[in-house]
């Protein structure tokens, strides 16, 4: 499959990747290109910004969660029938699982998918010193995939001379620059950027950004380089994840509002393709669960920011409690896991009653408790032993009892700990799950929902 594509990456976090990616996506959409976007790695929030720009869901491509063939297959599946695919890198370009590995980083994804990369180089306060930085990134790995440079935070007056200097000294094109833009900043919170809906006049800001980039980037050159990307070989990798569909469609209540909004879109698609009907509901705004549900899916998000609203919606808390204690299967990840506790103590020390499935409390620790990829072993997922399951944790809150159903192991080093509460009808814990990490995960959840459906009917 021929997919025109490129990645925007940088030497470090905080270099403007998301801002530039959103501006480029806006510019491409404005010019009539059918575009799809991807985020490298497990981040939820950056794809939300991409989605706001394009009006279509952005997705993740993760070389830790999925095998290389799977990553390429998901790229091909989700980039079919578009003009160009744009990827946003993660952290620094060569950063990966640890100090000794670039695996699961931006460079790994670029190499896995043979994607041309435009590297953002911070250039404020420098001139000739930019040269060793550019040359170092180009020479660090045999297959760096870097096909162009974008200078960040330089003036329109200085840019032409810096472009000439770099292209004279190093065999790489400079395809544009991003000047200092004071009114388009994207603020951060402890899990990443603030949510798109929290930014006033976001669309106006993105339009102003696109106006600037239309003058400062050589978009035609970028698109031409994207067109040089080799074809993606189609294979049958994804068929292993579609081998079992449910003839009786199960209805799964999907928590979807301001508090629960961290989705892997490929997870949602896979459940639907396997025969599930996902029924959105809001634990904040709705008084009751949707009717005739066979399962619940409580995603991660920011329940701590909506403690009052979640707590004061007593009828919904009671409905969720009654459903779960009545045997309805539930998949509760991170924020959803927190929602099932007795009480949540937020960052200000205020305590809010939650659903109460678990008698313990969760509280804000003031520090990053767990961060990064893990592999879950030794446990069962909805009553089935599935082997290793790759997952991800990122949370500042902790539980008095986070569970011990699985052994969570870091992919590098020797660190491990017990995690997750699990039964035949429950997965509840801080690790976020990605169904394309194990072909048996989604069917196991749906089997539990189908079994509940048969019992209730």
> What local confidence, expressed as pLDDT, does residue 196 receive?
55
The percentage of the chain sitting over the pLDDT mark of 70, rounded to a whole number, equals 95
Q: How many CA atoms lie within 13 A of 236 on its CB side?
A: 3
Please give the Cα distance from 364 to 369 (Å, whole number). Answer: 10
Parts of the chain with a pLDDT under 50: 189-191, 193
Please give the Cα distance from 365 to 443 (Å, whole number). Answer: 35
Please give the Cα distance from 179 to 175 (Å, whole number). Answer: 14
> What local confidence, expressed as pLDDT, does residue 160 receive?
96
Reading the block at residue 103, the tokens are 């695996």
> What local confidence, expressed as pLDDT, does residue 371 receive?
87
> What local confidence, expressed as pLDDT, does residue 353 receive?
98
Diameter of the chain by CA atoms? 74
Burial 122-157 (b: 16+ CB within 10 A, else e): bbeeeeeebbebbeebbeeeeebbbbbbbbbbbeee
Sign of the dihedral through C-alpha 76, 98, 301, 324: positive
> What local confidence, expressed as pLDDT, does residue 193 receive?
46
> What local confidence, expressed as pLDDT, does residue 243 receive?
78
Spot the catalytic one: 145, 184, 261, 334.
334
**DSSP string spanning 89-144?**
--SSTT--SBTTB-TTSHHHHHHHHT--EEEEEE-TT-STTHHHHHHHHHHHSTT-
> Which letter does DSSP use for residue 198 in this model?
G
| Cα 174 versus chain centre, distance | 29
Reading the block at residue 88, the tokens are 């946003």
What is the tens place of the pLDDT at every residue in 204-243? 778 888 899 999 999 999 999 999 999 998 778 888 888 7
Per the annotation, the verdict on 334 as an active-site residue is yes
What is the value of pTM for the model shown?
0.92
């Amino acid at each position: 499959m021929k997919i025109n594509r490129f990645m925007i990456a940088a030497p470090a976090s905080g270099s403007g990747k998301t801002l530039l990616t959103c501006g480029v996506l806006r510019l491409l959409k404005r010019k009539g290109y059918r575009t799809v976007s991807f985020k490298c790695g497990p981040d939820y929030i950056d794809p939300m910004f991409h989605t706001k720009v394009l009006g279509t869901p952005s997705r993740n491509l993760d070389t830790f969660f999925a095998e290389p063939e799977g990553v390429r297959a998901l790229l091909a599946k989700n980039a079919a029938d578009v003009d160009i695919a744009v990827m946003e890198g993660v952290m620094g370009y060569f950063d990966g699982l640890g100090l000794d590995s670039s695996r699961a980083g931006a460079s790994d994804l670029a190499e896995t998918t043979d994607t041309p990369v435009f590297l953002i180089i911070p250039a404020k306060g420098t001139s000739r010193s930019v040269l060793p930085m550019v040359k170092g990134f180009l020479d660090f790995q045999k297959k760096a995939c870097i096909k162009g440079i974008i200078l960040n935070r330089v003036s329109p007056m200085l840019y032409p001379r810096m472009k000439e200097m770099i292209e004279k000294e190093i065999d790489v094109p400079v395809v544009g620059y991003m000047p200092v833009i004071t009114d388009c900043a994207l603020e951060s919170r402890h899990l990443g950027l603030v949510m798109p809906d929290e930014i006033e006049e976001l669309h106006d800001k993105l339009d102003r950004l696109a106006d600037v980039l239309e003058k400062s980037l050589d978009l035609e050159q970028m698109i031409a380089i994207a067109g040089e990307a080799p074809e993606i070989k189609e294979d049958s990798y994804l068929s292993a994840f579609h081998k079992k569909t449910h003839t009786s469609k199960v209805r799964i209540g999907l928590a979807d509002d301001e508090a629960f909004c961290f989705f892997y879109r490929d997870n949602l698609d896979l459940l639907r393709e396997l025969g599930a009907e996902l029924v959105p509901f809001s634990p904040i705004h709705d008084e009751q669960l949707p009717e005739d549900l066979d399962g619940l899916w409580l995603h991660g998000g920011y329940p701590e920011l909506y403690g009052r609203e979640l707590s004061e919606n007593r009828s919904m808390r009671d409905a969720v409690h009654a459903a779960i204690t009545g045997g309805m299967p539930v998949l509760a990840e991170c924020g959803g896991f927190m929602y099932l506790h007795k009480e949540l103590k937020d960052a200000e020390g205020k305590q809010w009653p939650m659903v109460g499935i678990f008698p313990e409390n969760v509280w804000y620790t003031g520090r990053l408790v767990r961060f990064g990829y893990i592999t879950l072993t030794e446990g069962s997922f909805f009553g089935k032993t599935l082997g290793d399951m790759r997952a991800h944790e990122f949370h500042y809150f902790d539980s008095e009892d986070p569970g011990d159903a699985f052994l969570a192991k870091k992919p590098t080093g020797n660190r491990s700990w017990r995690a997750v509460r699990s039964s035949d009808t429950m997965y509840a814990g801080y690790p976020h799950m990605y169904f394309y990490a194990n072909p048996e995960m989604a069917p196991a959840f749906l089997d539990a929902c189908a079994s509940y459906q048969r019992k209730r009917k």
